[in-house]
Amino acid sequence: MRTLLVVLADDLGTTAGTVALYAGKGVRVVVHSRNAAVRDQAEELGATADEADPYDLIIRYEPQVVVCDHNGPLRETKVAVHRTGIPDKLYLTATSGATVIDVGASAVQKQETYFRDLDRTNAPLPETDLFAGL
């Protein structure tokens, strides 16, 4: 099953469209946040919400793709990605970057931008899909 893990701190903001888009496409989307309001918002968008440690979530859900908000637990997430060796891709939220996702006309923010920090697929840039190459 295609799985996307989104690791956040206190706001779904810059990833809400991506969460809704991929959940709507049938991708299992798991949102990590220790903030109950963020978890509630994620579930409203069709995601599974969890406050467990990113390492534990990677082991449990085996996501192919991980997105970490720049305000989230970045170091902890990067260590978990590298230690487990499970995700094929790691993206960080960005104001400009190599991967731009068109999240649709219904979203408040029409595009969300990510910097690809890790890619084991060698997918060519620029990408328009976080699962490109998988």
Q: Which domains does the chain have, with CATH numbers?
A: 3-119 (3.40.50.150)
- Cα gap 25→115, rounded to integer Å: 22
59-68, 105-114, 124-133: range with highest mean pLDDT: 59-68
pLDDT digits (tens, 9 = 90+) for 54-79: 999 999 999 999 999 877 789 999 99
Measured over the CA atoms of residue 38, residue 43, residue 48 and residue 52, the dihedral's sign is positive
CA distance 109 to 91: 18
Tell me the whole-structure pTM to 2 decimals.
0.93
